[in-house]
Amino acid sequence: MTANRDFAAQTVVVTGGESGIGKACALALGAAGADVALTYFADSVAGEDVAQTIRGAGGKALAVQADVGSETAVEALFAAAERAFGRPVTLLVNSAGLNMKNIPIADMTLDRFDTVIRADLYGPFLTCRRFVRGLGEGGRGRIVNISSIHERAPRAGGAEYDSAKGGLSQLTATLALELAPRGIAVNGVAPGMILTPMNQSALDHPDELKAKEAAIPWGRAGRADEVAGLVSYLLSPAADYITGTTVTIDGALSLTVALGA
Ligand SMILES: NC(=O)c1ccc[n+]([C@@H]2O[C@H](COP(=O)([O-])OP(=O)(O)OC[C@H]3O[C@@H](n4cnc5c(N)ncnc54)[C@H](O)[C@@H]3O)[C@@H](O)[C@H]2O)c1
């Protein structure tokens, strides 16, 4: 992609920026000139490392510890970004999230359900809300929420994750409708299998990776930088007329759902 290179004079908040897709987004946007406030959850070294890489390449970056499911933490995150870079946050990437754990609903504790909904759905609700409030009257901006192909394709044992991502899809669409008259775009990105720590088991076990990749029509899993390229495009002026939709990036994996019946 070539149209997404210039994010100068933009401040972006990237949640989950210390790892995987969020990290790739933070690095791509920082390299393209955005001032980056990225969150880390538990790994301060990883978060600071991403910020340092952006700064080392001449950019501006700040790593902030935040649990995105906490209203107070989200407020502190945006306040820190506004203070550090001297302008409202104009771009938002919600990548922080937890995966399913293969637990049937009958065995799932409320605490487990709550933990994932809080990270994967409350988190984007809180950051989107603060983003809009921070922009104020007349402020324009763009949001990308990282969802999943499982927002529509459920997996047995994934009720907490599938529910969170299904909800996120509707949050994205509803907010896009509310904000379109103000010129604020809100889109989702739904990845299939991407090789990040969320797929650590496949990364560690070549046989598992091979079996999973065999099920993907494109013949391989995706990379975080490929998702970051799509996110960068959706945040760029070239994507001006795109809002309220979720773009799938999965090597056609989600098209195979009902095959073999
Ligand atoms: N990797 C995939 O195959 C894949 C596929 C579809 C969707 N996704 C989505 O992409 C996003 C990024 O995942 P990834 O693959 O980069 O995984 P990852 O595990 O590398 O990154 C997720 C990050 O979210 C952070 N996090 C978790 N809970 C948090 C919380 N409450 N507050 C703040 N941060 C929190 C983690 O610390 C981690 O850094 C997730 O929303 C995930 O659901 C990933």
Is the pLDDT at 3 greater than 80? The verdict is no
Band of residue 75 on the pLDDT scale cut at 50, 70, 90: very high
Q: Is 41 in the pocket of ligand 1 (CB under 6 A)?
A: yes
Q: Is 199 in the pocket of ligand 1 (CB under 6 A)?
A: yes
Which residue's C-alpha comes closest to atom 7 of ligand 1? 148
- Per DSSP, helices labelled H in the chain are 20-31, 44-56, 71-85, 110-117, 123-135, 159-179, 200-204, 206-214, 224-235
Distance (Å, rounded) from C-alpha 62 to C-alpha 204? Answer: 31
Q: What is the pLDDT of residue 6?
A: 80
| Known catalytic membership, residue 122 | no
Is the pLDDT at 210 greater than 60? The verdict is yes
CA of 68 to the centre of ligand 1 (A): 11
Mutate to test the pocket of ligand 1, among 118, 196, 246, 247 (most ligand atoms within 8 A of CB): 196
Distance (Å, rounded) from C-alpha 216 to C-alpha 213? Answer: 5
Predicted model pTM: 0.97
Over residues 230-251, the mean pLDDT reads 97
Q: Is 90 in the pocket of ligand 1 (CB under 6 A)?
A: no
Q: Which fold has domain 11-197+223-249?
A: Rossmann fold (3.40.50)
Band of residue 4 on the pLDDT scale cut at 50, 70, 90: very low
Structural tokens at position 52: 């340092």
Q: What is the pLDDT of residues 118-142, one digit of tens each?
A: 999 999 999 999 999 999 899 999 9
pLDDT top residue among 258 and 161: 161
For the chain, the structural domain boundaries read 11-197+223-249
Q: What is the DSSP string of 4-26?
A: T---TT-EEEEETTTSHHHHHHH
Band of residue 5 on the pLDDT scale cut at 50, 70, 90: low
CA of 22 to the centre of ligand 1 (A): 7
